[in-house]
Structure 1
Amino acid sequence: MKKLNVGKKTIIFLVFTMLAIILAGCSEATSANKGILVKVGTTLSPSNPVNVALKEVFEPEIEKRTNGRYNVEIYDSGQLGGEKQLYDFTRSGIVEMTAIGTVMWSEVPMMATPDFPFVFKDVAHARRVYQGEVGEYIAKNFEEQEPIKFLAWNPNGARVFSSSYPIKSPEDLKGQKLRMPNNPIHVKLAESLGANVVIMDLGEVFTALEQGVVDGQDNPMSTFRQEGWFEVQDYIYETNHMVSSNELMMSKEFWDTLSEEDQKIFQEVALETSNRTWDIYENSIEDDRKFLEEQGIAVETPSDEERQQLIDAVQPVYEMLYEKYDWAEDMINRIRSVE
Structure 2
Amino acid sequence: MNGWKRFTRGIICSLILIVLLAGCASQADNSKSGQTHRIKVAHYFAANHPQNIALREKFKDMVEKNSKGTLKVDIYENSKLGAEKEFYDGVRNGTIEMGIPGMIMQADIPKMAIPELPFLFKDFKHAKTVLQGPIGKELTSEMESKHGVRVLAWSANGFRMISGNHPITKMSDFKGFRLRMPNIPNYIALGKSWGANVTPLPISEVFTALEQKVVDGQENPIATLRASGWYEVQTHVLESRHMFSPNVYIINKKFWDKLTPEQQKVIEEAAQAAADYEWKLLEQSYQQDKKFLQENGLKFQSPDEQLKKEMETAANPIYEEFYRMNPSTKELIQKIKAAAAN
2:142 counterpart SS class: helix
Q: Does the 8 Å CA contact 2:159/2:220 hold for their aligned counterparts?
A: yes
Matches within 5 A, 1:91-102: 91-102=92-103
C-alpha displacement at 1:184, in angstroms? Answer: 1.8
C-alpha displacement at 1:304, in angstroms? Answer: 5.4
* Residues 166, 144 of structure 1: alpha-carbon distance in 2 compared, 3 angstrom cutoff: same
Q: Distance in 2 between matches of 1:196 and 1:185?
A: 15
Counterpart in the other structure of 2:152:
151
Counterpart in the other structure of 1:37:
38
Counterpart in the other structure of 1:110:
111
C-alpha displacement at 1:324, in angstroms? Answer: 1.9
Superposition RMSD in Å: 2.5
Q: Distance in 2 between matches of 1:210 and 1:83?
A: 22
Aligned sequence identity (%): 39
Rg larger for: 2
292-301 vs 105-114, greater mean Cα deviation? 105-114
* Residues 44, 233 of structure 1: alpha-carbon distance in 2 compared, 3 angstrom cutoff: closer
Matches within 5 A, 1:187-336: 187-303=188-304, 306-336=307-337
Q: Does the 8 Å CA contact 2:160/2:240 hold for their aligned counterparts?
A: yes
Q: Does the 8 Å CA contact 2:83/2:202 hold for their aligned counterparts?
A: no
* Residues 230, 261 of structure 1: alpha-carbon distance in 2 compared, 3 angstrom cutoff: closer
Q: Does the 8 Å CA contact 1:162/1:236 hold for their aligned counterparts?
A: yes
Counterpart in the other structure of 1:83:
84
Counterpart in the other structure of 2:122:
121
1:198 counterpart SS class: strand
C-alpha displacement at 1:35, in angstroms? Answer: 2.8
* Residues 48, 92 of structure 1: alpha-carbon distance in 2 compared, 3 angstrom cutoff: same
Counterpart in the other structure of 2:75:
74
C-alpha displacement at 1:137, in angstroms? Answer: 1.0
Q: Does the 8 Å CA contact 2:104/2:184 hold for their aligned counterparts?
A: no
Q: Does the 8 Å CA contact 1:34/1:68 hold for their aligned counterparts?
A: no
Counterpart in the other structure of 1:162:
163
Structure 2 unaligned spans of 5+: 1-31
C-alpha displacement at 1:211, in angstroms? Answer: 4.7
C-alpha displacement at 1:177, in angstroms? Answer: 2.8
Q: Does the 8 Å CA contact 1:182/1:199 hold for their aligned counterparts?
A: yes
* Residues 326, 79 of structure 1: alpha-carbon distance in 2 compared, 3 angstrom cutoff: same
* Residues 255, 224 of structure 1: alpha-carbon distance in 2 compared, 3 angstrom cutoff: same
* Residues 176, 75 of structure 1: alpha-carbon distance in 2 compared, 3 angstrom cutoff: closer
Q: AA paired with 1:124? A: K
Q: How many residues get paired?
A: 309
Q: AA paired with 2:280? A: D
Counterpart in the other structure of 2:19:
none
Q: Does the 8 Å CA contact 1:34/1:71 hold for their aligned counterparts?
A: no
* Residues 173, 254 of structure 1: alpha-carbon distance in 2 compared, 3 angstrom cutoff: same
1:140 counterpart SS class: coil
Q: Does the 8 Å CA contact 1:110/1:142 hold for their aligned counterparts?
A: no
* Residues 171, 329 of structure 1: alpha-carbon distance in 2 compared, 3 angstrom cutoff: farther
| TM-score, with structure 2 as normaliser | 0.82
Deviation by residue 1:85-115 (Cα, 9 ceiling, x = unmatched): 2222222222221122222222222222232
Q: AA paired with 2:132? A: Q
* Residues 204, 96 of structure 1: alpha-carbon distance in 2 compared, 3 angstrom cutoff: closer
Q: Distance in 1 between matches of 2:54 and 2:67?
A: 19
2:103 counterpart SS class: coil
Q: Distance in 2 between matches of 1:36 and 1:232?
A: 42
233-242 vs 40-49, greater mean Cα deviation? 40-49
Q: Distance in 2 between matches of 1:283 and 1:274?
A: 14
* Residues 207, 273 of structure 1: alpha-carbon distance in 2 compared, 3 angstrom cutoff: closer
| TM-score, with structure 1 as normaliser | 0.82
Q: Does the 8 Å CA contact 1:90/1:96 hold for their aligned counterparts?
A: yes
Q: Distance in 2 between matches of 1:83 and 1:244?
A: 14
C-alpha displacement at 1:155, in angstroms? Answer: 0.9
216-225 vs 235-244, greater mean Cα deviation? 216-225
1:335 counterpart SS class: helix
Counterpart in the other structure of 2:47:
46
Deviation by residue 1:169-188 (Cα, 9 ceiling, x = unmatched): 44533443322232221111
Q: Distance in 2 between matches of 1:263 and 1:273?
A: 15
